[in-house]
Amino acid sequence: MVILRPDAERRHDGRAGDGEDGRRRGAPARAAAFVGRTLRSEWYGIVVDPVRELRRRGPGALLLAFVACGGVIFFHAVAQRPAGATAVRILGGVQGDLPLWLALLRTPVSLYVPALDLPVWAGITQLFLAFALAELALGRLRTLAVAYAATLAGTLTVRVMIAIGPGWWGLGLPPEAGQVLDTGPSAAVVGLFTYLSVVRRAPVVFILTGGSMVVESIAKPNLAGLEHLIAVAAAVVLGLLHERGHLRRPLRVPAALSAAVTKDRRGRST
């Protein structure tokens, strides 16, 4: 049995205290390291990888972004005159009281019709970034699918809520909400940023996107904020379904590697 002297006991207690203090001091460092790794991962997944893809493929890889911005600028310029505003409304104005077939027919054009009460040039910057990053990271077809699905989800859900009517625990909308135009391209922008944040595992971008929509809907409750929240929810579901399908997808072995393994096995058997 070892008997510790008082000074040895003090040294032993001091080492224990130093270890506990070290763990306490190390917790902020570990938290800072985790935040740094998360931000670095998001930076590479959301910005660096798309920029590399742009350098590899050239400006032609941004076709959707240029078309979307060009369409918004064109319809905004046309809508500056009364006759043009009427034409834009007929071609791309989607409301909840329209017949369903007509709303579905106008929805693709509504992606290029900016909201009249919002600054169009600030929205064009967000529109270009959303379509450019998504097109480079996801591909052209999936970008179009996500943008259209997010917009269509808001349009159809609002129609259902108007059909329900007010009084269903806040889920229904009054009939006059059917006369309000939809959000235009902003729902697609929110949906694309949200989908990117899910499939690229970017919680900061998700908080900035979805969190800002929640704050907007609380600070200024209106139909546009509701459609943005629906677009966020639809994009989250699409992103989770994509990730689930990606995890379930069997591992594909390259043909050359498979042939080499088969040849090696035959050689061993002989």
Residue 63: predicted pLDDT: 93
Would you give the DSSP letter of residue 117?
T
Greater model confidence, 101 or 246: 101
pLDDT score of 30 more than 70: yes
Phi, psi values for residue 95, rounded to 5°: -130, 160
How many domains in the chain?
1
Residues making up the chain, counted from first to last:
270
Tell me whether residue 254 is in a domain: no
Band of the pLDDT at 16, cuts 50, 70, 90?
very low
Q: Are 180 and 161 in contact (CB under 8 A)?
A: no
pTM of full prediction above 0.85: no
Q: What is the pLDDT of residues 162-210, one digit of tens each?
A: 888 887 666 788 888 888 888 778 889 999 999 999 998 888 888 888 7
- Which pLDDT score is estimated for 214? 77
Q: Are 41 and 33 in contact (CB under 8 A)?
A: no
Q: How do residues 38-85 score in pLDDT, each as one tens digit?
A: 778 778 888 888 888 889 988 888 999 999 999 988 988 898 888 888
Residue 135 lies in a domain: yes
Q: What's residue 1's pLDDT?
A: 47
Q: What is d(CA 148, CA 151) in angstroms, rounded to the nearest whole number?
A: 5
Classify residue 179 by its DSSP letter. Answer: G
Domain assignment of residue 198, yes or no:
yes
What's the whole-number mean pLDDT along residues 87-100?
88
**DSSP H helical segments within the chain, as ranges?**
6-42, 49-57, 63-78, 82-92, 100-110, 120-138, 140-164, 185-199, 203-206, 212-219, 223-248, 255-269
4-13, 88-97, 198-207: lowest mean pLDDT where? 4-13
Are the C-beta atoms of residues 95 and 176 closer than 8 Å to each other?
A: no
**Number of neighbouring beta carbons within 10 Å of residue 72:** 22
pLDDT (average), residues 88-114:
88
* Domain span holding position 222: 62-248
Three-class DSSP category at 113? coil
CA separation for the pair 132, 31 (Å, rounded): 33
pLDDT at 257: 42
Query: In the predicted model, what is the mean pLDDT of residues 252-267?
Result: 48
* Average pLDDT, rounded, for the chain: 79
Q: Cα(30)–Cα(50) distance, rounded to whole angstroms?
A: 29
179 part of a folded domain:
yes
CATH at residue 149: 1.20.1540.10
| 167 found inside a domain | yes
Residue 263 has pLDDT above 80, yes or no: no
User: Does a structural domain hold residue 270?
Assistant: no
Q: Which residue has the higher pLDDT, 168 or 211?
A: 211
Q: Angle at which helices 185-199 and 223-248 pack, to 10 degrees?
A: 30
Give the per-residue SS3 of 4-62. Answer: CCHHHHHHHHHHHHHHHHHHHHHHHHHHHHHHHHHHHHHHHHHHHHHHHHHHHHCHHHH
**Structure tokens belonging to residue 25:** 């001091």
Confidence band, pLDDT 50/70/90 cuts, at residue 218: confident
159 belongs to a structural domain = yes
DSSP code, position 254: P
Structural domain includes residue 90: yes
